[in-house]
Amino acid sequence: MSEYVVIGGGLAGLSAAFNLARAGKTVRVLEEKPHLGGRTASWDYNGMMVESGLHRAPAFYRETLVLMAAAGIDLDEALVWGDTTEICIPNGPSAVYTLSLPRYPLRTLGNIFGRNKLCSLTERLALGMFFGMGLIQHALRPASLDCYSVYDYAKKFGVSDRAIERILVPMTEGLFFLPPTRYSAYVLFGLLAQGGKHPLRTGLAAFTGGMTKVLAEPLAEAIRQHGGTVETGCKVTGLLHENKKITGVQVGKSVIQTSNVVLATSLEPAQRLLRDTFGAVDWNKHLLSLKPMPAATFQMELNRPAWAKDRVVFAPGTCMTCFSEQSRTTFTEKSGRLSIILSEPEKRLQQSPAALLSEIISDAKRIGVDLEGRIENYRTVLWPSEFYYLTPGNEDLRPPQETPIKGLALAGDYTRQAFLTTMEGAVISGKKAAQVLMEKNSS
Ligand SMILES: Cc1cc2nc3c(=O)[nH]c(=O)nc-3n(C[C@H](O)[C@H](O)[C@H](O)COP(=O)(O)OP(=O)(O)OC[C@H]3O[C@@H](n4cnc5c(N)ncnc54)[C@H](O)[C@@H]3O)c2cc1C
């Protein structure tokens, strides 16, 4: 009998499995896809190497960096640090923002207090009130922010529509797909508050290779070195239980007996497995009512770089809400490599790749990038239902890692932890789920 089974080989599952294996437990990770990493992955997509989407790890992601180091990943080899981001207004101005208080204190403070091509002094004062009061409210009564959209909260402080479009759209749509009118103020200030706790840990890291290669596979290797097994192409189709105790998992026609399961899939498969096994009951009814949210990305290989630096660029008011050239960091074997996070993900699920390509070419022109004749290959990478909606009112529906079923813990970026739907959130949720099971077994 396998002592601990982890369902899902994304960051949450790998984090849970590593913590269990390191504590001396026998662990078996079962991942449905042929590659590891989930939404933090890279793979060959019909002849083109793609990634799950443009990813950056801010320096305040402590648990992610600790996990990587503990698994023997050389952080200097796996990550390349950048200090700047850019906001580009279509047919308008652009501004580069420096994000490193320790290395460039004046330039970083200048983002807030200095001259700025995007917003007037009055607009910056209103934004200052918005950010300041939001962070204070988050410190005092965080849950109360989940009643507001970012747009409504910004309007309380007189932030102009222009400043919302230029500064807040990049922070909501660019980072997590939704416009300020639909994005919970709790989510925005929740993440800012985590960064604000470590003002000296600034900078944004890109990965120096595909994320499966530099992150997920080395984590799996560390789990194997501690005696665990990690299997891909293995879809769990059911959870087995008796008298509110886990007894095993179903994989097609086979049964794997176990009394401990970490369910570390993304939201929608977790809901399906829990609903099929336990029905909608008191302890899972909130979780079952969390609505899954899509995300959409577009990736292209070019005959030369699309941008002067491999930095994160936000282009509010275009379909390329956030993008980065990646040929000097993650895809160094390519002459040019653009990774784009698309606005309005629901709409993108219905759009053909050719229609999307022509919209991107036209929007890229509006920010000064001529892609015509330079594209060698392209793919869309869609995530139809992996996230939960970051709209107001959902925070209370997120479940804890612990469940009332003996031997069952939940992990995943949708489970409750302070870093929301991020790599750091996934890593923390996995660590917590492992702790929950180990503590229950020792009591
Ligand atoms: C485009 C995009 C950009 C992003 N950018 C950033 C960023 O810059 N910074 C950041 O911190 N975060 C970013 N994220 C978010 C981050 O990737 C996720 O929060 C994190 O990867 C979630 O990890 P997870 O393990 O919770 O879920 P997942 O990665 O979704 O892992 C779940 C795993 O379970 C597997 N699975 C599902 N069902 C079954 C089953 N029945 N049996 C077996 N296995 C199953 C899936 O195949 C998957 O591998 C981004 C995500 C996307 C999509």
Q: What is the DSSP string of 57-125?
A: EETT-HHHHHHHHHTT--HHHHEEEE-EEEEE-TTS-EEEEE--TTT-HHHHHHHHHS--SSS-HHHHH
Whether 33 is in the pocket of ligand 1, judged by its Cβ within 6 Å, is yes
Nearest residue (CA) to ligand 1, atom 8? 55
Instruction: Choose which residue among 7, 18, 386, 423 to substitute to test ligand 1 binding: the one with the highest number of ligand atoms within 8 A of its C-beta.
Output: 423
Measured from the Cα of 54, ligand 1's closest atom is: 3
Nearest residue (CA) to ligand 1, atom 7? 55
**For range 105-113, the mean pLDDT:** 67
| Cα 35 to middle of ligand 1, angstroms | 12
Measured from the Cα of 423, ligand 1's closest atom is: 11
Of 112-116, 245-249, 264-268, 406-410, give the lowest mean pLDDT range: 112-116
Write down all domains in the chain, each with its CATH number in brackets: 4-76+209-291+391-442 (3.50.50.60), 101-196 (no CATH), 292-388 (3.90.660.10)
What are the residue ranges of helices labelled H in 141-256?
150-156, 161-163, 169, 175-176, 185-196, 211, 217-225
| Cα 181 to middle of ligand 1, angstroms | 25
Rounded percentage of the chain residues whose pLDDT exceeds 90: 89
Using 50, 70 and 90 to split pLDDT, how confident is the model at 114? low
Instruction: Choose which residue among 265, 267, 297, 387 to substitute to test ligand 1 binding: the one with the highest number of ligand atoms within 8 A of its C-beta.
Output: 265
Measured from the Cα of 12, ligand 1's closest atom is: 25
**For range 73-86, the mean pLDDT:** 94
Nearest residue (CA) to ligand 1, atom 12? 422
CA distance 87 to 320: 12
Using 50, 70 and 90 to split pLDDT, how confident is the model at 440? confident
pLDDT value of position 112: 63
| Cα 172 to middle of ligand 1, angstroms | 19
Whether 40 is in the pocket of ligand 1, judged by its Cβ within 6 Å, is yes
Which tens digit of pLDDT belongs to each residue from 325-378? 999 999 999 999 999 999 999 999 999 999 999 999 999 999 999 999 999 999
pLDDT value of position 255: 97
Whether 385 is in the pocket of ligand 1, judged by its Cβ within 6 Å, is no
CA distance 21 to 131: 42
pLDDT at 115 over 70: no
Which tens digit of pLDDT belongs to each residue from 284-314? 999 999 999 999 999 999 999 999 999 999 9
Whether 265 is in the pocket of ligand 1, judged by its Cβ within 6 Å, is yes
pLDDT at 108 over 80: no
Nearest residue (CA) to ligand 1, atom 1? 53
Whether 236 is in the pocket of ligand 1, judged by its Cβ within 6 Å, is yes
| Cα 119 to middle of ligand 1, angstroms | 35
**Cα–Cα distance list, 208 to 58, 63, 354, 368 (Å):** 15, 19, 30, 27
| Cα 421 to middle of ligand 1, angstroms | 9
> What does pLDDT average to over the chain?
94
Which tens digit of pLDDT belongs to each residue from 122-153? 999 999 999 999 999 999 999 999 999 999 99
Q: Which residues pair with 184 in a beta bridge?
A: 149
Measured from the Cα of 14, ligand 1's closest atom is: 25
Using 50, 70 and 90 to split pLDDT, how confident is the model at 117? confident
pLDDT at 101 over 90: no
pLDDT value of position 196: 84
Measured from the Cα of 270, ligand 1's closest atom is: 38
Whether 9 is in the pocket of ligand 1, judged by its Cβ within 6 Å, is yes
Whether 272 is in the pocket of ligand 1, judged by its Cβ within 6 Å, is no
Q: Which residues pair with 377 in a beta bridge?
A: 301
Whether 363 is in the pocket of ligand 1, judged by its Cβ within 6 Å, is no
Instruction: Choose which residue among 5, 31, 39, 330 to substitute to test ligand 1 binding: the one with the highest number of ligand atoms within 8 A of its C-beta.
Output: 39
Nearest residue (CA) to ligand 1, atom 48? 38
**For range 112-125, the mean pLDDT:** 81
Asked whether the beta carbons of 85 and 97 are under 8 A apart, the reply is: yes
Whether 201 is in the pocket of ligand 1, judged by its Cβ within 6 Å, is no
Which tens digit of pLDDT belongs to each residue from 179-217? 999 999 999 999 999 988 887 788 899 999 999 999 999
CA dihedral sign, ordered 321, 326, 329, 331: positive
Measured from the Cα of 412, ligand 1's closest atom is: 26
CA dihedral sign, ordered 366, 367, 371, 375: negative
pLDDT value of position 1: 54
pLDDT value of position 305: 97
Lookup: tokens for 336 = 């040019």
Q: What are phi and psi of 83, to 5 degrees?
A: -120, 0
Whether 415 is in the pocket of ligand 1, judged by its Cβ within 6 Å, is no
Whether 310 is in the pocket of ligand 1, judged by its Cβ within 6 Å, is no
